[in-house]
Amino acid sequence: MTMKPGSFAIVGASESTKIGVVPEYSSIGLAIDGAGNALEDAGLKASDIDGLTVAYLPVGNVAQLLGIYPKWVDGTGVGGCTWMFHLRSAMAAINAGYCSTVLIVYGESGRSYHAAPNSYDTLAQGSIEQQFDVPYASASMQAVLFALPLVRYMQQYGLTESQIAMVPVVQREWAAKNPRAKLRSPTTVDEVLSSPMIAWPIRRSMCCLVSDAGGAMIVTSAERARDFPKRPVYVLGSGAAIEAGPCSPAGVRNPMEPEFIRTSARSAFSSAGVTHSDIDHLMIYDAFAHNPIFGLDGLGFVPVGQAGAFIADGNTRPGGSLPMNTNGGGLAYAHSGSYGMLCMLEAVRQMRGEAPAQVEGARTSLVHGWGGFWSACATLIFSNERP
């Protein structure tokens, strides 16, 4: 029953028409707008869709508004990497024969904040987080909880503030090539380390943007993908893992070498039948500057503790050996809250050869996203060639 690499392909993909500051749409409006663009991109109508995934918005409402009558749905919400989890379950559902063409939908009014629910409005009275995490986490909850392991990691591996600051510096270089990115001017380590302190050691320039955005993609079998207008993006493999609740990072068993990243990476590489050296392009969800550092370590692209130096040495910048976060990332492009869909969409653009900052000749892309304030993740490996 194992799905062979490249059995499924993304045949439609688009962001919402506008990203950044979009007060004219609520979260559901951004989702519908993104979905409409993806349908158009695939040359499909709503009636062609028989499977639907949505999170943080009621799936039935989104179906009804789009004119879709799905026979399979998934409403799982695990934070920013939710849309990667959805792609995995969509492939499994198609493989099982539950449906044939799945639309994965995302919309979040993360900045203009019209009509929640927003991703992390789930902190109900009496939840584990509300009792044991939120009282301490402060008004900068995301920055604080995401950064909790960082000081120990810095001490254990010698990671410096300057190395962390290089992450936004490099990502501005990518954003400079992207007309849709928010922060396109260059920055420096000194400038990053002079920005206001949010929660030591996290400074404002190490934090992601706050944006409105939506996006959607359509997945179907590789056999059918040939009939679509755009170049198919095949899913070679994937992985995922969870260790704790969204705001309960204390549940991560080994924050210095987190198992959930390693499990997800192992699953992705083995199911795809590729190794690290086969990866031409990389997206690692950057809600905060240290996220790509932990990602490179955990995914095994570098020995543990070496990721800060790897980035600071320029390996992920334009012209580097491992182009990463080529849209500018959550730090410089946009970040709408549960940003994972935007990571996936940049990877699709790169595989189609359509990205503003196109990596010449890229044939594979690995997309890795986080869920919660660091307790879940998923890893996808795409290719524009069918194995």
Partner 1 sequence: MKLEPTALPETQPFWDGADAGKLVIQQCHDCSSHYFPPAPICPKCSSRDTRWVEASGEATLYSYVLTNAPWPHWKTAGPMSVALVALKEGPRLISTVVGCEQTPENLRIDMPLTATWRAFGDRQRVLCFEPKHRDGA
Residue 150 interacting with partner 1 (CB under 8 A): yes
Residues within window 176-215 making contact with partner 1, judged by CB under 8 A: 197-202
Task: Give the integer Cα–Cα distance in Å for 15 and 24.
Answer: 16
Shortest CB 246 distance to partner 1, Å? 13
Residue 249 interacting with partner 1 (CB under 8 A): yes
Pairing of strands 364-371, 281-284: parallel
Alpha-carbon distances of 283 from 226, 227, 247, 258, rounded to whole Å = 26, 28, 23, 19
41 versus 133: smaller Cβ distance to partner 1 = 133
Helix, coil or strand: residue 11: strand
Here's the x/- map for partner 1, 253-292, by CB under 8 A: it reads as --x-------------------------------------
Alpha-carbon distances of 367 from 135, 215, 255, 381, rounded to whole Å = 33, 16, 21, 6
Contact 58, 116 (CB under 8 A): no
8 versus 56: smaller Cβ distance to partner 1 = 56
DSSP string, 94-153: HHHTS-SEEEEEEEEETTT--SPPPTT----TT-HHHHHTHHHH-TTHHHHHHTTTHHHH
Shortest CB 154 distance to partner 1, Å? 9
Residue 159 interacting with partner 1 (CB under 8 A): no
Shortest CB 151 distance to partner 1, Å? 5
Selected from 151, 226, 321, 354, the binder of partner 1 by CB under 8 A is 151
Only one of the segments 62-70, 99-107, 132-140, 171-179 lies at the binding site for partner 1 (rule: CB under 8 A); that segment is 132-140
Residue 376 interacting with partner 1 (CB under 8 A): no
Q: Count other Cβ atoms within 10 Å, centred on residue 352.
A: 16
45 versus 152: smaller Cβ distance to partner 1 = 152
Residue 131 interacting with partner 1 (CB under 8 A): yes
Residue 1 interacting with partner 1 (CB under 8 A): no
